[in-house]
Amino acid sequence: MERRQPPQTEEGWYVLHDFRSIDWDAWRDAPERRRSRAIDEGIDYLTAAESVADADEGDSATFAVLGHKADLLVLHLRPTLGDIDALERQFEHTALAEFTERADSYLSVTEVSGYMSQDYFDDDAEMDDTGMARYIESRLKPEIPDAEFLSFYPMSKRRGPDHNWYELPFDERAEYLSNHGEIGKGYAGRVTQIISGSLGLDDFEWGITLFGDDPTDVKELLYEMRFDPSSSRFAEFGRFLSARRFPPENLGAYLAGDRVPQEGGDAHGGHHHGGSDSSGHHHGDSESGGHHGDSGGHHGDSSGGGRPGSDDEDVRSELEEIGVYAGQPHGEDVHAVVLYSEADADELFDEVDGLRTNFDHYDTHVKTAVYEPSTVGSGDTENAIVSLWETERAANTAAGFLADLPDIVRQAGDDDSDSWGTMGMFYTVKPDHREDFVGTFGDVGGLLAEMDGHRKTDLLVNQEDENDMFIASRWDSREDAMAFFRSDAFGETVEFGRDILADRPRHVFLA
């Protein structure tokens, strides 16, 4: 008898959806002293959980559940079951717990499967696709999105006499899930997901958590997916629970019946995340993802990914000493994701344009565009996708969708640690001076080629606006790049830029 091939899976963080009902009669009858203590201890517990004070990494968030099924949802993601277990028991020691009963819970673990990338599980294969590697990492260790609305439901694949998912050949299952994922891509920027496996951990096989600022986006996505054969033939669902996120400091307002989140507060609690690595395990089955100018200077992009840190501050200080503008401490309130693709520029633009339409639904989206290499530079043929956001978290979320674009070869910030990168954004050239700018870049490029430690420099041009450009360089070391910034040639370029650029170049951190 033929045995069907199960996909390999890798597991990441454990997930607990902890649903609580409040004993409203007991709450109303309790003296003010007891209620005040319950609120204070509840806020302390929820704040500590959301700041991940109990573990090296993870995430937590607090939600008000809509309808009769529960009142509160506390969502936890942690590296180990021990972390989850401790969080459960710590809540029971709060005064708030005296007024609650557990209405429901769901335990699962984040996962990716061989349906998504066979190379990821092949010991002999190399993950040349850096974008895919980062996307997989974001699936195993996700951040809870900054979205107001949450929809959670468990699901399994059918094993009935007419439709049995587990009797299908591997390639057929993979094709079903690939087509299913294409639907989810159409909602990029509007709906974000966390998929977690629960086979052997809870009643169904997966837990699906969807996030969005507009509940109707989630509704439309699920309605469209119901007509896809992966769902219509093979999916069985548990009950759905909906909730709205609020920050822990609004707990008192929530219990008082006031509107939450309250106006003027941080709607998402300002939570933080840990940062160490954890390893996964291999076994089981998984549903695939997709469920869905003043200066010509560059900002440093170190091997650590370009996020703010001590190295960034050192670079800023050095540049300031020589009169080079290096942007504000947080990247002039924008964060960038920059990925490189070997795909045809027109094909790439069509894909990016679809994502951009969805990104525009978010107020934090600033800009997404495709940049092509100009005829001057190192001669690289890679195109760049640049996506700007007002928050680092939004940029990181967008990176997950952008990494699925065709022929992505790397993401800026992921380069080898034996080099140092700089990036200048954005050079908006006055139309009458475009040729002057390109010509000067060619002259400076000739000087760069003769400098010690210089590897390459490229000028890339916005496919939709030839006057919008950025410059990316790679050096053997930071010291080599700083030597260029201190050079007379660079100083002359700065003075030249004052006259031909329409705006001051923007310098951003790379998410």
* Active site residue ranges: 153
Q: Which two tokens stand for residue 5?
A: 């091939």
- Is residue 97 within 8 Å of residue 91, measured between CB atoms? yes
What's the chain's length in residues?
511
What type of residue is 199? L
Paired with 388 in beta bridges are 336, 367
Nearest to 242 by CA among 104, 73, 22: 73
Print the SS3 string covering 68-113. Answer: CCCCEEEEEEECCHHHHHHHHHHHHCCCHHHHEEEEEEEEEEEEEE
- Is residue 391 within 8 Å of residue 143, measured between CB atoms? no
Q: Phi-psi bin for 52: left (phi > 0), alpha (psi -120 to 50), beta?
A: left
DSSP 139-189: HHSPPPPS-SEEEEEEEEE-B-SS-BGGGS-HHHHHHHHHHHHHHHHTTTT
Q: Which residues contact 19 (CB under 8 A, 6 or more apart)?
A: 65, 69, 70, 72, 73, 102, 103, 104, 105, 241
Buried b (16+ CB within 10 A) or exposed e, 130-152: bbbbbbbebbbbbbbbbbbbbbb
CA atoms within 13 A on the CB side of 74: 22
**Angstrom distances, CA of residue 290 to CA of 85, 135, 158, 186, 353:** 30, 11, 20, 10, 18
Q: Phi-psi bin for 279: left (phi > 0), alpha (psi -120 to 50), beta?
A: beta
Q: Which two tokens stand for residue 301?
A: 């992009």
Nearest to 76 by CA among 66, 85, 68, 67: 85
- Is residue 160 within 8 Å of residue 224, measured between CB atoms? no
